[in-house]
Structure 1
Amino acid sequence: MILMLVVVGAVAAQPASDLKEYLEAVRAGSYDPVPKSVLQATEAMPLLSVLATYEQDSIVRVRSRAYSIARRIGTKSQESEVRALVVGQLTRGIGDTDGGISGACSGGLTGFTPGDFDVTVKEQLKAFLLPATPHLDQVAMLVGYLVYDPATATLRGLLQERLSSTNKWSVRLALARMGDQESVDFILEKLRAANVSDNLVYDVVPGLVYTRDPAIFVFLEQIIQQDEPLCLSADPDSSQKILCGYRVMEYLAYAIEDFPIPTDEDGEVELDDYEAGLQTVRVWFDSHETYGFKMDVY
């Protein structure tokens, strides 16, 4: 029995040892991939302990790699304790002095569910809602995704600050996700004056889908039902325009419950016939005046 425990302990310790060796190599300038023993390890806690140390390293690329590995471990784990610990580490990473790391951490947190964030972490995120925070747009929308009501006043206050148009729009989207009617009305007013085009579909629609707001989704339904080809084909060799509804359909698939289009585990649409798929979606909307939203995904 004692021998078995020793063997098990040695097996669990090996990935952590490999991780230390790898990160030391990164410090020395190595660009080798993360060892398989680390990515395939069954015990995450020893790895996260190692990563917590290297996340404080003086070298940017070492910290960056440490946070990246932590994110990969957390998003693939089914253990709530592991996921919560990684969320805490990435949240602290938003405060990193390197803007790239800060943005990677706030962006990486969107791969977790609201249940992975405890009140302490939510308060930390709220504290990052400052004009000077790198990638403030991502942080604001992350808070909106969590529907953390105590941050509502802080988000509204940001609208009075001198922010970029991108940041202000993201704050509006975050508030809309949280059910703020004033922000929903503001967004709808902007949409009334918008022309459907590639720019709208690729740059604006993803944010609209993020809101999960029924009134805003009516606007998206209207694009689905349009028969005028206003968007460029994904084929770079084709100049023929296509229906914008094809791309909007892809965005909606991961946001609406019981959507009639099949998706893979990452929420990506799986379709061989897009024309038939779009027609199916149109019929589905015609027969569903109301529908539910997936709120546990960003």
Structure 2
Amino acid sequence: MKSLLKLNTATAKAFFLIGIVNLYCQIGLGQQAPTSLANYFGAIRNGEQSSLPYQLLRQQGLLDDYIRVIDTNLSDSLSTVRKACYQSLDVMQKSSTAPAAKQQILALQLQGMADESPDIVGLSTQNLSSVPPSMFNASQKKTLIQTLDRQVAKKEVLIKMVGTLKDQSAAPALRQLSQPGNSAKVRWAAYLALSRLGDQTAINLVNNKVRGIEVNDDMVYDMAPSIIYTQQKQLYDYLVELLYSNEKNCESANPDQTNTINCAYRILELLAPQIVDFPIATTASGDLQTKSYQEALITAREWFSVHVDFQVKNTD
């Protein structure tokens, strides 16, 4: 009986201690979870908070308040605070549905391109590259094009973003960036951007470049997306040609499958969502909506053999 009593006493003490620990943990978590965006930036300023308050930032009814708070903090002397502002704006831009709010957010995002911190400029460039080109007005396009003359972080991302704007006034700066003296990444991005603008010289250069590359995983995952970016049928024609190859030079996306596969399957995944009236759709993750990739490839080959004058979708 005594031993049972001792056991119960020990168990009770254990539960009491666990309860105390849980209480302190809850208090600690409560301190870490900001109850407002202003509190979040205050915590960042004090070095107490690092994770973004996604749940707060996605509350559509408070966007106007958040925009005002962020606008105030964008002039903070601490780059960590300004960086948190631009990270917050990116979340708000992607979750917002109101056109007016999205434009207000975009105006603040663009300020990051002139920030004194190279890290923030690079972050802003990356975030802005996910904004639909149609959202930028004439003045904002001009700002981005003028930035091409500066040495900025992620310059190649900026160049390709400018290419999507379809603004011919960017062509002279892009041609300058395609010349020797610039890095290989910058020159290639400039040729791709010029191709997207319809520059035939650039299109021919890209065409010659890609046709000289071995078709394997590197080509499929690095070069083929660059061709897709250009939205030029002349370059898409080469990808269509590759659909008729039966060489197995690519690794399967299935980690349990060790055998190599036909690279045409990966290329078809890239092409399918880009072609007008194409008979095979893709899922949100980029997979073909088909029970059999072999059958899908046969269907694609037959379709392209009939539709040699296929049209490329304009996604701008």
TM-score by length of 2: 0.81
**Matched position secondary structure for 1:235:** coil
Count of residue correspondences = 282
State the distance in 2 between where 1:74 and 1:251 align: 26
Q: Does structure 1 conserve the Cα–Cα contact (< 8 Å) formed by 2:178 and 2:186?
A: no
Amino acid across the alignment from 1:245: A
Residue of 248, 261, 266 corresponding to 1:229? 248
Matched, 1:194 2:185: no
Deviation sequence 1:109-134 (CA, Å, 0-9, x none):
23222221011111110111126121
User: Structure 1: 5+ residue runs without aligned partners?
Assistant: 1-15
Deviation sequence 1:151-194 (CA, Å, 0-9, x none):
11111122235211111000000000000000001111112322
Higher relative contact order (CA 8 A, sep 6+): 1
**Matched position secondary structure for 1:254:** helix
State the distance in 2 between where 1:28 and 1:272 align: 54
State the distance in 2 between where 1:238 and 1:276 align: 19
State the distance in 1 between where 2:95 and 2:277 align: 24
Residue of 184, 193, 198 corresponding to 1:174? 193
Amino acid across the alignment from 1:239: T
Please report the RMSD computed on the Cα atoms of aligned residues, expressed in angstroms: 2.3
Q: Does structure 1 conserve the Cα–Cα contact (< 8 Å) formed by 2:57 and 2:91?
A: no
Deviation sequence 1:17-52 (CA, Å, 0-9, x none):
711111222233313441523312334232222222
Q: Does structure 2 conserve the Cα–Cα contact (< 8 Å) formed by 1:232 and 1:239?
A: yes
Aligned to 2:128: 109
State the distance in 2 between where 1:287 and 1:294 align: 18
Residues 115-264 of structure 1: matches in 2 within 5 Å? 115-130=134-149, 132-160=151-179, 162-264=181-283
Matched, 1:83 2:102: yes
State the distance in 2 between where 1:266 and 1:147 align: 27
Specify the structure having the higher radius of gyration (Cα): 2
Amino acid across the alignment from 1:72: V
Amino acid across the alignment from 1:58: S
State the distance in 1 between where 2:119 and 2:273 align: 28
State the distance in 2 between where 1:159 and 1:32 align: 39
Aligned to 1:18: 36
Amino acid across the alignment from 1:202: Y
Residues 63-78 of structure 1: matches in 2 within 5 Å? 63-78=82-97
Residue of 52, 60, 66 corresponding to 1:41? 60
Larger mean Cα displacement after TM superposition, 44-53 or 268-277:
268-277
TM-score by length of 1: 0.85
State the distance in 2 between where 1:218 and 1:171 align: 21
